[in-house]
Structure 1
Amino acid sequence: MASGLPQPLDYDIIKAGWTYQYHRADPLYPFGHGLSYTKFAYSDLRLSSETLAQDGAVDVSMTLTNTGTRPGSEVVQLYVRALNARYEAPRLRLTDFRKVALPPGGSRELTFRLPAEHLAHWDVASGAFTVDPGGYEVLVGRSAGGITLTAPVTVSGPAPAPRIVVDRRTSAVDFDDHTGITLLDATRTTGDAVAPANLDQPATLLFRSIDLSGAIRIEAEVTGAGPGQLEFLAGDRLLAEISVPFTGSRYAWTTVPGDLKTSSDGVHDLQVNLRGDVRLAAFRFGSARLRPPPEPSDQNLPFL
């Protein structure tokens, strides 16, 4: 394997650094690279507006000039990237391109239509593509490594709401960031789960901007093939510890409850630590308004 490339079986595109969008080392030939018999100059980058709505669009114009002595063609590439994003944004993302043939000394103005949806990312909290408000950058060049023009653009609109997790099932794989985990199948046919990649070291899941208002307890969907433990923290405050029992198989799932050790009202970054041979599929914070019904007995029969 060439130096600097991710492990071929590491399917975490972001963490591993797959594709030109996330790869951090300088490639020998950048994405979009090509050779020409002449030279081209890029100039006069203009945006029809410095702001756009989350469902709007902006026109991006620039001028391409053949500054060489031979006719030739150039593939003009339009990229975007988010600035100060709340998620792990791509370093660059190609949104459009145009192949242009010009004689020596010839120029052409090009205009690209950039809809806001091309700035969207997959939001694990809502399970849909969304365009965050904030700062972005429009970039034009001959390759991902040959950017020549840049311009800022601002998306206007409401900020994303905190993620709701109280009285709602949250899948473990819908994390915002992680350290030391591996992704596994929850059953032989469907579902996903997470587990420590190294049983001798704890693994961590991070869920950003979580609204824990009203939470008084927690339950986790787990399997255990040996001693294991889960820790839930809001910032640096320990909310709950759950011991994971031996379930006999990685596909033998059980739900383990636990009470919160401290008040958790408000919006926090939630950290989940996995220790030992434990697999986690999901968790749910519970509130007082959805207490589980009492166990049926001779004196306390359930309603029919």
Structure 2
Amino acid sequence: MRHRAWTLLVIVLLPLLSLAGCGLPGLSGTGTGSIRIAAQSSTESSIMANMVAALIEHELDLKTELVANLGSTTVVHQALLRGDADIAATRYTGTDLTGTLGLPVEKDPAKAGRIVKRAFKQKYQQTWFPTYGFADTYAFMVTKAFAKAHNVRTISDLKQVATTMNAGVDSSWMSRKGDGYADFVTAYGFDFKRVYPMQIGLVYDAVEAGKMQTVLGYSTDGRIRSYDLTVLQDDKQFFPPYDASMVVNDRLLARYPKLAAVLHRLDGKIDLKTMQQLNYQVDDRLLEPAVVARQFLQAHDYFRGENDNG
């Protein structure tokens, strides 16, 4: 009888133990022996996470794990707070200012950066690193043919033809406060004939196919090059800064005193066109993010002394 009871106990406990060993979706890399780097599901975030990982492994001979494909900045933030990740590969000033911190829109990039850096240090014991050098913000785009035909270079230039235009925009932008649809109409003083909310990934196909005359996309998207689009200048500086940076838990920096200096090597090293090109290599040429990240580091001598096949 005691043997049977033990057998039943084992049968009950084994599934529970198996469940206990499983991480949450997207958080499989939760081992304590590695530096865990969180990335959102975007191409850009994946590239930067792989770049940070490769740099750490090469320079400090430490193991890294990617906590990949997290669905939003909120999920990434919670992963760092819970200790499921140590580094957030991409955070954006505008998003964290109004979203994570719940503060008013600040359109001066330097001031926005100072606010989030100070707040993350005080509230979360996290270090907000300087920008990589690019800002991934909303941007209105048209085809090059449309830009030439209507002499369009800025968003304000659209006013003369806006009443004849269909615009495809990111669904979440329609209800945003401070830098959303309603505030845009007020700031620029015009509206489009029709505005179609859609998934961000569909806007590029829509404008290329002529179904939309302008679309609202992301300034670093590799598909800008793929579809040969013209990004219109935000001449009224309506969209707040979304400078991209990494954020690191302070306890990790304390554990590895040499880590900060290694991570700072990426400060200001990737401008907007470079990020567009890196995204393009993944989205259009179908290279793996890890390959694109490593090629960038090798091309810019981060792996000085290592042969190209290393």
The answer to whether TM tops 0.5 is no
Which structure has the highest helix share of the two? 2
TM-score under structure 1 length normalisation: 0.22
TM-score under structure 2 length normalisation: 0.21
